[in-house]
Amino acid sequence: MRSVVVTGMDVVTPIGVGLERFWKAAQAGTSGIRRITHFDPEGLPTQIAASVADPALLGELRGAEGLDALEPRSVVVGVWAARSAIDQAGAMSAVRGPRAGVFVGTAGERQDLRQLGAMAYAGRAPGEPVTPRGFARELARRAGADRSYRTLPQYLAARLAGRFGIEGPAATLQTACTSSAQAIGEAVRAIRRGTIDVALAGGAECIVSPIEVQIFCLLGVMSRRNEAPETASRPFDARRDGFVMGEGAGFLVLEEAEHARGRGARPLAELAGYGSTCDAYRITDEAPDGQGAVRAMRAAIADAGLEPAQVDYVNAHGTSTPMNDRVETAAIRQVFGPHADRLLVSSTKSMIGHTISAAGAIELITTVLALRDQVAPPTINYQVPDPDCDLSYVPNRPVAVPIRAAISNSFGFGGHNDCLLVRPHGG
C-alpha cells in the first residue's frame, strides 16, 4: 500500500500565527480566550471566545497574501496557513497540476443577520413587501460586487486550487467538528489509491459572529465563565460547564512517500491510520455509549497495522462539555484497555477553544509536533478531577515522554467520528 507522509504544515490560531510560535505558546499553556470585542456581546449568556478577529492581525495576513478587504476572515487565515504549509514543504511546484488535490473542511462564513435583512429590503419593489424572489434577485446582483459568494463553503477550496494551480480533485467537507479531520483522511485515501500524489488538506473556520454565538447559546453547550475567560475551557475538569468557540486554520501538505523522496522532501511524520464512523444516533448529540468513537479509534489503529499498546499519546477531542469528556474517556478506556492508564491524553481546546471545522487539522498538527519533539502538550485549567474522567490528562504543564505513535480524535454534531494516527516515518 502507498504510504502517506506529512512534508509541510502551518497554522493560524488565537495563541500564535505560525507553527513554532503556536507550539511554543501551547507548551507554555497559553490561553487565547478573551471577551469578544469585534461585536458587542452584551446580553448574551456567553460573551467570550478565542477569535482571530484582530484588525491588525488580519491586515498583516491580508497584506502578506495580497488579499482584498472583501475576503472573509476564514479565507484570509486559510490562504495564509495553506501557502505557508506549501512553502515549508518546498512543494509549490509539486502541488501544481492534475496529480495534486485540495481537501478542505470549512463551513464558509455566515452572513450577519443585518446584512441579510438589508438585502431583503433592498430587493423589494417600492411599496411592496419583502419576497423570496426579490431577496434572491438582490443577492445575485451583489454577488459580483461584494463578498456574498465568498461566504460559500466551497469557495476556499476553489480559491486555493486556483491560487496554487491544483488541478486534481477539489473537495469541501462539512461534517461539523470533524470536517477538517475528515478532509485530511479523505486526502490520505486519495493518495493511497493512486488518484493523486500530493494533497493540500486542512480546514479554516471563523464563525464567532452574533448569529453563531446566539445559536450555540440556545443549545446550552457553551461555558458562561465570562468573568474568567482564560479559565473557561477546562476539558475533563469536574467543574467544566461547556465549550468555548474558537477560530483559526490549519493546513498540511501530504504526499506519497516515494514522491516525497523523489523530490528530496523531508517527512515530518507518516500519516499511517485513518478511521471514520457515524453514530447514526441524533443530529445534535454523540451517542452516549461512545461506540462510534470506539470504532473510529480502532479503525485508525488497525489501518496503521498497530496494536493499541503501541500508541502513547492521544490528542483528545476534549471539548470541555460534561458529556463529551465523559464519553470520550470511556471510549479511550474501551479501546486501550489496561494500556489506557499509561497513555497521555490532552486537549488543545483548553487553550484555543473549539475551532469547529478547523479543529481536526489544528489538533493533528499539534499531534505531529508532539511526535516530533517527544512531548505531550498540556490540558490547561485542569484542577478538580472528575471520577468519570480518570485518565492522565497532562494537567497544566507539558510532559516529555517517548511517543512511538499518536492519535488525534475528532467527534462532531451528527455523530461524526474521525481519528487520525501518526508515527515517525519508517517507524
Asked if 50 and 245 count as a contact pair (C-beta separation under 8 A), the reply is yes
Nearest to 329 by CA among 339, 338, 340: 340
Mark whether 339 is an active-site residue.
no
Q: Please state, for a pLDDT cut of 90, what percent of the chain lies above it.
A: 82
**Residue 413 pLDDT class (50, 70, 90 cuts):** confident
Q: Which residue has the higher pLDDT, 25 or 289?
A: 25
Q: Which CATH architecture has domain 4-108+152-423?
A: 3-Layer(aba) Sandwich (3.40)
Tell me the C-alpha distance between 73 and 345, whole Å: 31
Q: Out of 206, 259, 317, 389, which one is annotated catalytic?
A: 317
State the DSSP string of 209-242: SHHHHHHHHHHT-B---TT-GGGS--TTBTT---
102-113: average pLDDT: 81
Q: 122 burial class (0-12, 13-18, 19+ CB within 10 angstroms)?
A: middle
Q: Which of 28, 18, 95 is nearest to 351 (CA)?
A: 28
Out of 177, 206, 389, 419, which one is annotated catalytic? 177
Please indicate whether residue 177 is annotated as part of the active site: yes
The mean per-residue pLDDT over the stretch 256-265 comes to 97
For 194, the grid coordinates are 493512486
- Ranges for all domains in the chain classified under CATH 3.40.47.10: 4-108+152-423
How many other C-beta atoms are found inside a 10 Å radius of the C-beta of residue 132?
9
pLDDT on residue 123 = 74
Tens of pLDDT, residue by residue over 211-260, are: 899 989 998 999 999 999 999 999 999 999 999 999 999 999 999 999 99
CB 132 within 8 A of CB 120: no
Considering the candidates 259, 354, 416, 425, report the single residue annotated as catalytic. Answer: 354
List pLDDT tens digits, range 304-315: 999 999 999 999
Kindly tell me if the per-residue pLDDT of 117 is higher than 70. no
Residue 113 binned pLDDT confidence (cut-offs 50, 70, 90): low
Q: Under DSSP, is residue 179 helix (H, G, I), strand (E, B) or coil?
A: helix
39-66 per-position pLDDT tens digit: 999 999 999 999 999 999 999 999 999 9
359-373 helix and 19-27 helix, angle to the nearest 10 degrees: 80
Rounded Cα–Cα distance for residues 161 and 187 (Å) = 14
What pLDDT sits at residue 166? Answer: 98
Q: Which of 126-130, 145-149, 393-397, 422-426 has the lowest mean pLDDT?
A: 145-149
Give me the mean pLDDT over the 142-156 stretch: 72
The residue to which cell 506529512 is assigned:
6
Q: Are 424 and 371 in contact (CB under 8 A)?
A: yes
Confidence of residue 261 (pLDDT cuts 50, 70, 90): very high
C-beta separation of 364 from 250 below 8 A:
yes
